[in-house]
Structure 1
């Protein structure tokens, strides 16, 4: 049987720590997705990403998103409104990132950036115009096809 998979350079390094991060694609009534710009002083500063954050020890991905949405955006999200959508698995220089992405169309409160980050509502077809971390890029294509 032939291998029909495209040839790509994939770095497989089992010695790297695995970091679990949850991300959310908040979708408004117009079908736009919220992205946030990483603030100065953080790795990949200036890049745009889906809101979310690191899953703490003993925490599940949904609980991490509920916590992060409150801390970063001052909104309340219910676990029942989080729909698992896709995940990213990407090797950076110092760690391997595993990032489930959830969709959410309903939340309580008005979005207010609480950590000085810029936020922007963007149509899925326009997400490619924003400089995003490598792990987010495959998720953008999936969102464009879905929304």
Structure 2
């Protein structure tokens, strides 16, 4: 089973989310940034790579916040969400239309992939 990672960046009562560009399987959905771990890559290394590739920022990966699972296009994934600390907030968007700092309550009204909704529901508990 492949690992899909997500990074949860907190700033006060807000969380960082990114809006995917259209044209992908979860296009125009809000997400906690992250992505699939490559073969032999740790979840921490995957998050560092994904934040660099997608948002142009370096990060420090903290503790595991949530673990679950989901299916996408017939593939099963183990979902792991970690706390993240940003080294900078000067984003260079490559796969996203924009990033925003939103409260958890604000996120409930926005479109999200099922995997990101799992993380949101866990954070709301």
TM-score (norm 2): 0.88
Counterpart selection for 1:134 from 105, 114, 122: 114
1:19-74 Cα offsets, whole Å, 9 max, x none, are: 3211101111x221111112122112111111001101110000100111112222
Q: Which residue does 1:31 correspond to in 2?
A: 13
Is the counterpart of residue 87 in structure 1 residue 67 in structure 2? yes
Q: Which has the larger radius of gyration?
A: 1
Runs (4+) of structure 1 exceeding 6 A deviation are none
Separation in 2, partners of 1:132, 1:64 = 21
Q: CA deviation at 1:83?
A: 1.5
TM-score (norm 1): 0.76
Is the counterpart of residue 22 in structure 1 residue 25 in structure 2? no
Separation in 2, partners of 1:68, 1:92 = 19
Is the counterpart of residue 67 in structure 1 residue 40 in structure 2? no
Q: Which has the higher contact order (CA 8 A, sep 6+)?
A: 2
Structure 2: runs of 5 or more not aligned? none
1:71-117 Cα offsets, whole Å, 9 max, x none, are: 222222124xx12100230123421121100012x321124143151
Separation in 2, partners of 1:96, 1:142 = 20
Structure 1: runs of 5 or more not aligned? 1-17
More strand by share: 2
Contact 1:74 / 1:109 at 8 angstroms: preserved in 2?
Answer: no
Separation in 2, partners of 1:136, 1:109 = 23
Map 1:44-123; keep pairs closer than 5 Å: 44-79=26-61, 82-104=62-84, 106-117=85-96, 118-123=98-103
